[in-house]
């Protein structure tokens, strides 16, 4: 996972390990997140784990847990994130079995900058129950499988520098309708991918129109400082 641009992204997600990709329905979710920060962030990063309860409405999404990580020093950092399973009474009965989505998101000052999506498959633990499911769901017989091989990682460019410069004034300025743009609503994977593709095109344009020698040297020096 590469850095898009030092001026637009001060945080790089290195790796996410799922501690229990195959588990019982009632087992907690476990993640180990590794990320790199190339500039000191004075405020905390907020991480959230969201379970999509229905493919037809976001009203059934559940925020399983959230945690604040920080202040974040320069370099490679990691932490373990655990969350309880979703509340069954908040999921439509017909949506419990089958495939759904689990989202791991990270934000800085209410600006979401990375999202990792996993497909989750919920099914009974025996062929008999899978072929003839009971009318009332037997949760003690359910297995949960997270498809860790194919995560959907999406990055969104945010204004890191404005957030650090303005400090606590940022939220108030947005609320008062100043020139700062409002924080956008969470986008779909398709919309986020469009943003990522646009950034790649912008980067290609910049590479064609500006000399790269000095910039590349700067990046190499920065990496050396981090590794040291």
pTM above 0.85, yes or no: no
Give the per-residue pLDDT at 31: 96
Give the per-residue pLDDT at 79: 93
Q: What is the pLDDT of residues 23-49, one digit of tens each?
A: 999 999 999 999 998 888 888 999 999
152: Cβ contacts below 8 Å, ≥ 6 apart? 115, 116, 117, 118, 189
Give the per-residue pLDDT at 46: 95
Mean model confidence pLDDT for the chain: 75
Q: What is the pLDDT of residues 50-72, one digit of tens each?
A: 999 998 899 999 999 999 998 88
Q: What is the pLDDT of residues 90-126, one digit of tens each?
A: 999 999 999 999 999 999 989 999 999 999 999 999 9
- For the purposes of burial, counting CB atoms within 10 Å of the CB of 204, is it exposed (0-12), middle (13-18) or buried (19 or more)? exposed
Residue 180 has pLDDT above 90, yes or no: no
* Distance from C-alpha of 93 to C-alpha of 151, rounded to nearest angstrom: 26
Give the per-residue pLDDT at 116: 96
Length of the chain: 228
Residues 13-31, mean pLDDT to the nearest whole number: 95
Percent of the chain whose predicted confidence (pLDDT) is above 90 = 52
Q: What is the pLDDT of residues 120-153, one digit of tens each?
A: 999 999 999 999 999 999 999 999 999 999 899 9
Residue 19: pLDDT band with limits 50, 70, 90? very high
205: Cβ contacts below 8 Å, ≥ 6 apart? none
Percent of the chain whose predicted confidence (pLDDT) is above 70 = 66
Give the per-residue pLDDT at 120: 97
- The architecture in CATH of the region 11-227 reads Sandwich (2.60)
Of 1-5, 80-84, 145-149, 162-166, minimum mean pLDDT range: 1-5
Q: Return the closest-CA partner of residue 9 out of 212, 208, 202.
A: 202
């Amino acid at each position: 996972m590469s850095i898009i641009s030092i001026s637009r992204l001060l945080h790089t997600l290195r790796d996410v390990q799922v501690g229990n990709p195959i588990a019982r329905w009632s087992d907690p979710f476990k993640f180990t997140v590794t990320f790199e920060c190339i500039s000191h962030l004075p405020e905390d990063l907020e991480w959230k784990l969201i379970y999509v309860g229905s493919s037809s409405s976001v009203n059934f999404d559940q925020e399983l847990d959230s945690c604040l990580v920080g202040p974040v020093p320069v370099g490679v950092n990691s932490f373990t994130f655990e969350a309880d399973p979703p509340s069954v009474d908040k999921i439509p009965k017909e949506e419990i079995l089958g495939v759904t989505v689990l989202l791991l998101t990270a934000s800085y000052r209410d600006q979401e900058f990375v999202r990792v999506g996993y497909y989750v498959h919920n099914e009974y633990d025996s062929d008999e129950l899978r072929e003839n499911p009971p009318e009332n769901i037997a949760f003690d017989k359910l297995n949960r499988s997270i498809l860790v091989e194919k995560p959907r990682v999406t990055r969104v460019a945010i204004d890191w520098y404005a957030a650090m410069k303005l400090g606590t004034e940022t939220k108030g300025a947005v609320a008062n309708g100043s020139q700062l743009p409002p924080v956008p609503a969470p986008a779909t994977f398709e919309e986020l991918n469009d943003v990522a593709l646009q950034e790649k095109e912008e980067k290609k344009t910049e590479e064609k129109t500006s000399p790269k020698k000095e910039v590349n040297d700067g990046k190499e020096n920065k990496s050396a400082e981090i590794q040291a």
